[in-house]
Homo-oligomer: A and B are copies of this chain.
Amino acid sequence: MVTIDSAITGGDREIVANVLQAALVDLVDVSLQAKQAHWNVTGPTFRSLHLQLDEVVTLAREHADVVAERAAALGISPDGRVKTLADSVQTPQLDSGYLQAELVAESIAALLLMVVYRFRDYVEQTDEADPVTQDLLIAATQGLEQQHWMFQAMTVES
């Protein structure tokens, strides 16, 4: 069996391993849900949501890649296989079928807020264990919080 060594070992390594795998699942989850909404959204603000959702996809994919390569670099094999993802995701999933715009905005805002809470926890957990990993997670959190605000702003009634 192949192994990769790194400068992080022991308990720190275990904490970081758990956090990075959980973050990977969250980010792939966000990318898949945002794509689902990107394809199925309808309503007068279709174009705005269609484009904004693709920005979420790009954001989530980029951070997922950074998080997975960080794990690989620390000797922790990342697992982004579809059945692992399906078994691990803990967020409510979008309904099937075309979706109305308000519902999309609200669902994605709720999804992002839930993931933000999880990431703020990951940031805390890695504070002692590995400041480099923490720094990557802080950057991801910032992006997720920014998108959360934008989708929340869209749900304010006019």
Residues of A bordering B, CB below 8 Å: 1-7, 28-29, 32-33, 35-36, 39-52, 65, 68-74, 77-87, 89, 93-94, 96-102, 105, 113, 116-117, 120, 123, 127, 131-132, 134-136, 138-139, 141-142, 145-146, 148-150, 152-158
4 closest cross-chain pairs (CB), A and B? A86-B86, A73-B149, A2-B98, A42-B156
Q: How many copies does the complex hold?
A: 12
If the complex has contacts A82-B85, A120-B7, are A142 and B2 also in contact, measured as CB distance less than 8 A?
no
CB <8 Å contact, A40 and B72: yes
How many Å from the CB of A41 to the closest CB on chain B? 7
Which residues of B have CB within 8 Å of A80? 32, 35-36, 39
